[in-house]
Amino acid sequence: MARAKVEVILPTIEEERGQISWRVSLLALALIPISAYWMARRGQDGIMSLGVPPVVFVFLLALFNFPFARWLKRFALTQADLAALWAMLAVAAGIACEWGEAPGLTGFLVWFDNPANRYRELILPYVPSWMVHDYKDALEAFFGGRRPYDLYRPDHLMAWLFPFLGWSGLIITLVFLMLCLLLLLAPRWLEQERLSYPIATVPIYLSHDGWASKLLSNWRFWFGFFIAAIYDTVYGLVFWWRGQISQAWKGIDISQFIINRPWNVIGWTPIPLLPFMIALSYFIPADMAFSGVFFFWFRKFQQIVASALGHDVVPLWGGMAGAARVPYLTEQSVGAMVALFCVYLWHTRSYLVNLMGRGTGDEGRGIGTNLKNKQWRPLLKFGLFGLIVGFISLFAFVWSMKSNTAFLLLYLIVFLAISTAIAKIRAQIGPPIHEFAFMGANRWFIDLLGAERLGDRVVTIMGYLYFTHRIWRSHPMPQMADGFKVVHEAKALDMRFVAAMIFAIVLGAMAMYWARLQAGYIWGSGAPWGYAGWIMEWRNMKEPNYTAAAFGVGGALFTLLLVWLHNRFPFLSLHPAAYALAMNFGIDYCWFPMLIAGLAKTAIVRYGGQRTYHALVPFALGIIVGEYVTGSVWSWIWIVTGKPTYSFSIN
């Protein structure tokens, strides 16, 4: 019997398409450096899933664009323009925020070297030469400050040039590879799986019709906006008049009432009262929100059990930054992330096989056979070609590190896999923050192989690649994933958007380095937080820790079990992505807002229906935008004057 041939046709983007104009590039050229400096001086505004600068700039442009969109359409920005601009600012701000340690890492080993720490002797020889420099006058200006114009002296520019090119080039290469991966996954995530992208709800509404038409004309939006604005204005003024203010208003820490072991090992357990987080959590699917809350307390339960069994449990971090300790939460996080990536890969296998091609002759499933629609074809072809070019560039950077090239390349590939998993979690759950503090494959490799087998140079380089393990809050890949959704809603997901994103990635990486340098030359800069100590601690973990590695494997297996349970019993609020999110620090900030929003959303839908839920969406958006706009005013007072001001953020 002859086999039937099944041809997989990718979904079709709507024919009526938006056009991204040249004005977007000019706006991005002006706003990306401003955003980068904003992040260099006030990083708190970029550590949430939804960064402040992109929201504020797009909202202000929507207001400015209102009269043009209504009466002078020829000169108005379109929905596609604002959507693309938000995506560009989001990825650039993401790079500039917590990927901005590079200038500090460039010089701190030399500047802070002393007989006690012996950085020059113990660490510097193992760092690739293009990552550092030792020109003392430039380092003095950067770390000491008060020399803003010396950055542009020829000798200072030359001192920073090669580290600038090296760090920027590596970051551009990695983020470009992320862009290419998202291009290949876009049809699957956007039109086959139809992921919810909760965070993207905000920029979709802000960019609608080019002037946020569903918000600016809605009284519920302005009601929420002014409530939030008054709230943050009052607290900001109190902070300003007193010079400081207790952070207790952000939530009560219930651990202060628990003093007996083993219960007190739960550590910092706040009940956060953050309006913007409650509003953001309103867009999270209720079952996802309840899953996050459940696994947050499951993490605390593990710490209590470990302490009761006699283990030395660190109450807050669980050993995340330093040596691994029971219950090995970092290892569980890494294992869960790798397992999720494998599950996503497995679920996407038929799509990828038909995309990449299989068989020969009549059974071929190549790009030319399957990519029938004219909108997706250039995007997918560029994604495939870009992966090849990107990996060649990545290989060149890794080879220039003059270490174990194959292992470091594998390490960065695992980093890209974890990044993809986090982007998928962002698209599925949309948590207000995805911190994953100190979570990276470096720790799992050290646990499995031991630092002695890896070698001091490999361990040092992994530590210096700070964005692969330090923190994942402003990670650019989830930002880009939301950007794809926002632009797709504007019917402008085409090669112009790809070109705009490449422009934003390149300019964002360069602006990040410049902004950190300029801020340092003006205000001074401290040493990057803890990196030298962590590197030395990791290098001292000479022997493998098979127990810690086993917990990583256990985290992966438990994730696979949760996947099976979620598919078999979908009514259970036990989503595997929530387990991966909750095993690490970060959900501590938003578990209570997620609980409040989940309960409120459930009650609203049950008793008021979908109509009532959608009617309250503008109110939630008003709370978010009101806090962001008011908070940005306080931020810029700090940036300009140097005097500390109130922050509505988590820190």
Residues 410, 415, 420, 425, Cα dihedral to 10°: 140
CA 626/CA 227 separation, integer angstroms: 8
| Residue 210, Ramachandran bin (φ over 0: left; ψ between -120 and 50: alpha; else beta) | left
Q: Which residues of the chain have pLDDT under 70?
A: 1-17, 244-250, 315-324, 355-373
321 within 8 A of 534, measured Cβ to Cβ = yes
Other C-beta atoms lying within 10 Å of the C-beta of residue 354: 20
CA 586/CA 578 separation, integer angstroms: 12
Q: Which of 218, 51, 59 minimizes the C-alpha distance to 614?
A: 218
Distances (CA, A) of 134 to 112, 113, 114, 126: 11, 11, 14, 15
pLDDT of residue 324: 66
Phi, psi dihedrals of residue 375, rounded to the nearest 5° = -80, -45
18-35 exposure pattern, b = at least 16 Cβ within 10 A, e = fewer: bebbeebbebbeebbbeb
pTM for the complete prediction?
0.94
CA 50/CA 279 separation, integer angstroms: 12
Distances (CA, A) of 439 to 43, 415, 541: 20, 10, 17
Domain ranges of the chain: 23-217+290-306+314-568
pLDDT of residue 126: 96
Average pLDDT, whole number, for the chain? 90
Q: 3-state DSSP call for residue 179?
A: helix
pLDDT of residue 586: 83
Q: 3-state DSSP call for residue 270?
A: strand
Q: Which of 290, 593, 267 minimizes the C-alpha distance to 437?
A: 267
Distances (CA, A) of 232 to 44, 235, 237, 247, 633: 15, 5, 8, 13, 10
435-444 exposure pattern, b = at least 16 Cβ within 10 A, e = fewer: bbbbbbbbbb
331 within 8 A of 548, measured Cβ to Cβ = yes
Residues 6+ apart with CB under 8 A from 630: 228, 229, 232, 233, 236, 648
Question: Which residue's structure tokens are 């939030």?
Answer: 228
